[in-house]
Amino acid sequence: MIFLVFDTKEDCDKFVMLYEEYKKIVYFTIKRFVSDEYIVEDISQEVYILIGKHLKNINLDERQRTKNYIITIARNYCKNYLRNHNKEKEDLYDEMPFSYTESDQVLDYIINKEKMHQLIMEINNLDDIYRMVLELKYITEFSDDEIAECLKIKKKTVQMRLYRARMQLRERLE
């Protein structure tokens, strides 16, 4: 629970409106960097504290600029968080389930892990408009309607971007 004190009722209303309007986008942005739900919640609170401190920099009439500003705050906070916590990549064998005992199973596991890593790298290399819809669809499991609402675009546009993103991934992974 976040408790912030604002000088005026207008600032309070502005903050509440920003929270309601952009909470899914903030969640999605943080989720790109952190998978642990507890950490996502902690970072989310910190991001909203920063937004509260920078309310004067936000003009509600400029929706796209506001959205970009909030995403930038969330993204930068996540990068700083990860940098400060020395997130080290785990060795493939450290993550391996105990049930893998035979060498063929171990090899299959490593190959699948490498393919998944390559897919993630290719998704991260996509243009933002394609990467965003893919992540909303398959990571946060939003419906096409929810994605359209979140990104303030038409459902048909979401479907076209998903199609184009999948086509680009196919080409890159062949």
23-71 pLDDT per residue, tens: 998 998 888 888 888 899 999 999 998 888 888 888 888 888 888 888 8
* Sequence spans of domains, the chain: 9-84, 100-173
Amino acid at 124: N
Using an 8 Å Cβ cutoff, are 23 and 70 in contact? no
Map tokens 């965003």 to a residue.
Answer: 132
Record the tokens describing residue 80, joined without a space.
């700083």
Tell me the whole-structure pTM to 2 decimals: 0.51
Q: Is 86 left (phi over 0), alpha (psi -120 to 50) or beta?
A: left
Record the tokens describing residue 83, joined without a space.
């940098």
Record the tokens describing residue 66, joined without a space.
């506001």
Using an 8 Å Cβ cutoff, are 142 and 136 in contact? yes
Fold of 100-173: Arc Repressor Mutant, subunit A (1.10.10)
pLDDT tens-digit series, residues 78-109: 888 887 775 444 444 445 554 545 556 777 77
CATH architecture of 9-84: Orthogonal Bundle (1.10)
Q: What is the mean pLDDT of residues 114-130?
A: 80
Phi, psi for residue 58 in degrees, rounded to 5: -110, 125
d(CA 84, CA 98): 31
Record the tokens describing residue 117, joined without a space.
């890593």
